[in-house]
Amino acid sequence: MNILKKFLKYIALERGRFLGMYVRMFSINGLDYAHYLRKHGGLHSIGEQTEINYGVTITDPAYVRIGRNCTLTTCTLLGHDGVIRVLNSAYHKKLDAVGKIDILDNSFIGHGAILMPGVTIGPNAIVAAGAVVTADVAAGQVVGGVPAKVIGSTEALVQRLEQRCKEYPWYALIEQREGGFDAQMEPELKRMRLQAFFGS
């Protein structure tokens, strides 16, 4: 099975063929999907160390630029306003409404967020889950809501998360962990979390 997985991964990611089959059989992580999109997705550009969930919707990839070390969860990037066809027909006009989406380095786009045409995110910005972004998000801001509004700074969020993290019973393991996930550590972390959340 390992040889089949390696072969399908190569065909999917490097050649751009049978991605759906590969995902159905083995799933795909965000780094690999970003690699696939970098080569075959038609985006303006994607920086290194960027992770993109397989469920992301990008309507106009040519107008999208994503920086380094970004994460896009299952969100939507809209590069055009779909109402134009209806308005052109109903009002006998020749309108156009497209825009770039520029996600700068070290930014995070939460689950279910929608980025509208013509916005720039970050750097070091966070878009909360479910937010609808209709205007630029300045460097280091955290935005949320519909429409998205500033709800804090990335720096303040880091400080709050660090303080909360130090109170977890499993903090000693987190201090030892390299990166955001360690498969070897995960079973013990899960056990400790479940104990803290729900008891025995």
Helices 19-26 and 2-9: angle between axes, nearest 10 degrees: 150
Ordered mean pLDDT values, 10 residues apiece, the chain (200 residues): 87 92 92 96 97 97 98 97 90 92 98 98 98 98 97 94 93 88 90 90
- On whether the CB atoms of residues 77 and 115 are closer than 8 A, the answer is yes
How many whole angstroms separate alpha carbon 107 and alpha carbon 141?
10
Tokens 């072969």: give the residue.
7
| Domain ranges for the chain | 42-153, 168-200
Our CA dihedral for 4, 10, 16, 20, rounded to 10 degrees, sits at 30
pTM, two decimals, is 0.89
Q: Choose among 172, 160, 83, 81: nearest CA to 126.
A: 160
- Which DSSP state fits 117? T
Kindly report the CATH class assigned to 42-153.
mainly beta
List, in sequence order, every beta strand (DSSP E) within 44-113: 45-46, 51-52, 57-58, 64-66, 71-72, 76-77, 101-103, 108-109
Looking at residue 1, its pLDDT comes to: 61
Is the Cα dihedral 137, 141, 142, 144 positive or negative? Answer: negative
